[in-house]
Structure 1
Amino acid sequence: MNQPNKKVICITGASSGFGTATAKKFIQNGWNCIITGRRQERLESLAKELGEENTLTLAFDVTDNKAVEKNLSNLPEKFSKISVLVNNAGLALGLEPAQRCDLQDWETMIDTNIKGLLYCTRLLLPKMIKQEEGHIINLGSVAATNPYFGGNTYGATKAFVRQFSRNLRTDLHGTGLRVTNIEPGLAESEFSIVRFKGDKEKADNLYKGAHPITPNDIADMIYWVATTPKHININNIEVMPTSQSWSPLQVYKS
């Protein structure tokens, strides 16, 4: 049965990891869900699992502004009033030092982690302001403030996400809209498989024995943030597994 009053969440990068877990969490709690990603087959499979009557699949690449506009501008009425946008689509590529990195990897991270987030946010903000309800939840990283070897451009893109989230919240002062930046540390998903370009063994070794954050952990946080009372804004959450902490500063001796 159609329930037009059900709240709607839009999740980018929903075909795996944090995005998939978040979609499941919100559907289980009675929301309608727009799931986006580049992989149509995965989205369709997830929609069948979640229940197609409550799920809208949109296959597009967030780095393509025209595709973002085409897909998110003309939504079916049931999904047209988006209460929450989760900017989850993002990636890290490589762990090489800056002087040996692949420049294309840098460009891909900038296009996805920064431009993709901007395109989706900018398109939906006016609608949220008009409906006097909306929450932008960005997926950042502890890499925004904690440099590590090979983190160069990835960390820089997440520093952008952190500062953009803070400035966005300032711009939206008085509108009633909310903005949250969630910054996970070591988390096990397909993230590291992508980073190591399909080398699953290398990715698995990174997590072995570390008891990392799981996608369900992040989904629980996103749900909590989105369902706090409207007069509460969670500005930023930085979260690490208990096994992870900060490294000492490096000192080179000649």
Structure 2
Amino acid sequence: MKRFKEKTVIITGADSDIGRATATRFAREGANCILVGINHDLLEYIYKELPQDHTWINTGNHLTITSDVNDPTQIVRLIEHVLEKYEHIDVMVNIDTAVGIHQSVIPYLIKTKGNIVNVSTLTAIAADWNINTYKAEQNSLTDTTKAMALKNAPNGVRINAVAAGLVTTDTSSNPFLTHSPLGKTATPVDITAAIMFLASDDAAMITGVNLPVNGGVSASS
């Protein structure tokens, strides 16, 4: 079943391992994917991997946009470009990007009763990293997500988040791993599974949630 057939999905931070996995999964489930990032060559590489539905009236389902979503002017051009091609926006996935783009996209999500999934990742362990700092950052993400969700719920727009923890395919030991009750770190595919659930109609009654995908680190003392 293609849960996102004919849905338009903007993915910021698409030029990342999680972005690549997320775009691939959305495309396989029928979505039109807009890949947004700052690495043009990488975005084009990911674009060429995505399944397409070529027909006589459709020359391609997906789109790449090289853009800095921290720049309000570039955000305006990005949205104009998306609407010109697809006419509507149904889902926005923000991977390690600022939330400033939200206010520009929400008016269009109101029209489609769409949703936003913010993704916070720990892609590396700094020398001064500690578990208390990590948990404090996730608490801040939870508070921000709740506030945005409550503000936009009356308009039918759901807003959730995924706290991805350390995301890696490296199986060697690291400071984060020692805090994981499951004894492992998440992979990009693990994070994508959570994103897909929160963005889908399966989560129609879920908003304001920060879903930890970190091997149980958030549950540990």
TM-score using structure 2 length: 0.76
Distance in 1 (alpha carbons) for counterparts of 2:134 and 2:71: 20
The one-letter code matched in structure 1 to 2:116 is I
Of the candidates 153, 158, 162, which is equivalent to residue 173 of structure 1? 153
DSSP 3-state at the match of 2:191: helix
Of the candidates 50, 65, 68, which is equivalent to residue 58 of structure 1? 65
CA gap 1:42/1:204 in 2 versus in 1, 3 angstroms? farther
Distance in 2 (alpha carbons) for counterparts of 1:19 and 1:63: 18
Is the deviation greater in 5-14 or in 153-162? 153-162
State the Cα RMSD in Å. Answer: 3.2
Distance in 2 (alpha carbons) for counterparts of 1:215 and 1:139: 11
Question: Does the aligned pair in 1 maintain the 2:11–2:33 contact within 8 Å?
Answer: yes
1:1-254 paired onto structure 2 within 5 Å = 6-51=6-51, 53-88=60-95, 90=96, 113=97, 116-118=98-100, 120-129=101-110, 131-140=111-120, 149-150=128-129, 159-188=139-168, 206=174, 211-229=184-202, 231-234=204-207, 235-241=209-215, 244=217
Cα deviation, 1:133-161, whole Å, max 9, x if unaligned, reads 1101111369xxxxx95369887665443
Question: Does the aligned pair in 2 maintain the 1:141–1:158 contact within 8 Å?
Answer: no
Cα deviation, 1:75-98, whole Å, max 9, x if unaligned, reads 25443311110111x2xxxxxxxx
Distance in 1 (alpha carbons) for counterparts of 2:134 and 2:73: 25
Distance in 2 (alpha carbons) for counterparts of 1:240 and 1:208: 9
Question: Does the aligned pair in 2 maintain the 1:181–1:236 contact within 8 Å?
Answer: yes
Identity of aligned residues (%): 28
The one-letter code matched in structure 2 to 1:64 is D
CA gap 1:219/1:230 in 2 versus in 1, 3 angstroms? closer
Distance in 1 (alpha carbons) for counterparts of 2:63 and 2:117: 19
Kindly name which structure, 1 or 2, has the bigger radius of gyration based on alpha carbons: 1
Is the deviation greater in 28-37 or in 67-76? 67-76
Distance in 1 (alpha carbons) for counterparts of 2:177 and 2:205: 37
Quote how far apart the aligned CAs of 1:74 are.
Answer: 3.3
How many residue pairs get aligned? The number is 199
CA gap 1:68/1:245 in 2 versus in 1, 3 angstroms? closer
Question: Does the aligned pair in 1 maintain the 2:135–2:218 contact within 8 Å?
Answer: no
Aligned to 1:104: none
Distance in 2 (alpha carbons) for counterparts of 1:123 and 1:61: 14
The one-letter code matched in structure 2 to 1:175 is N
Gap regions ≥5 residues in structure 1: 91-112, 143-147, 190-200, 249-254
TM-score using structure 1 length: 0.67
Quote how far apart the aligned CAs of 1:241 are.
Answer: 2.1
Gap regions ≥5 residues in structure 2: 53-59
